Structure formats: structure tokens, C-alpha cells
Amino acid sequence: MLVLPVELTHAQATACCRMLAQALRTEPAREAVADASALRQFDSSALAVLLECRREALALGKSFAVHQLQPRLRALATLYGVAELLPEAVVPA
């Protein structure tokens, strides 16, 4: 599982993208799941990071989903018309 930080704004976006891309390349699982449960402070850069992560996962032949995307970020994704690209992950309890 790819874990997003507590804060993901423009200032952290580039480093976060690099970290997640590296994790995707080393993780053998066929499904990439981004865990957004810790994410509390964010701007639209968080969507850009998630979309880049999705592109990287798909390029590696993996599916992509997001676990516990914050409602405000889901609303922002809907506003931008990209919500369908960030499906909710089904994670066993």
C-alpha cells in the first residue's frame, strides 16, 4: 500500500511523486492502492500526485485505487471531472 503523508500541497508534490513512483516500481503487487487516510492538509496538488501515481501504476500494468480519500478531496476530484479515475479501494477489514 502506498501511504500519502499528512500534508500534501504544492511544496511536497514533487518529492511525494518521486517516492510513490519508486514504491510502485518495487512493489510486486498487481494492484496499487494509495492510502489517503492520514491526509489532512492538501490542495489540488494532491490530485495531481494521485493522477500521476495512477499513470505510473497503469504503465506498470497495475490497477489503481485509493483507500479513504478525504471527502473534500473527492469533491474536488468531482469538480475537476477526474473522480472516476480515482476509485475507492476495497480493503479487507
Domain count for the chain, please give it: 1
Asked if the structure places residue 27 within a domain, the reply is yes
23 phi-psi bin (left φ>0, alpha ψ -120 to 50, beta other):
alpha
**Residue 65 placed within a domain:** yes
User: Which residue range(s) make up the domain with 75?
Assistant: 2-85
Q: Would 48 be classed as within a structural domain?
A: yes
The answer to the question of residue 91 being in a domain is no
Read off the CATH number of the domain in which 79 is found: 3.30.750.24
92 inside domain: no
Question: Digits of tens for pLDDT over the chain (93 positions)?
Answer: 899 999 999 999 999 999 999 999 999 999 999 999 999 999 999 999 999 999 999 999 999 999 999 999 999 999 999 999 999 998 666
The three cell numbers locating residue 31: 494492484
Q: What is the pLDDT of residue 93?
A: 60
- For 42-66, b where at least 16 C-beta lie within 10 A, e where not — what string? beebbbbbbbebbebbeeeebebbb
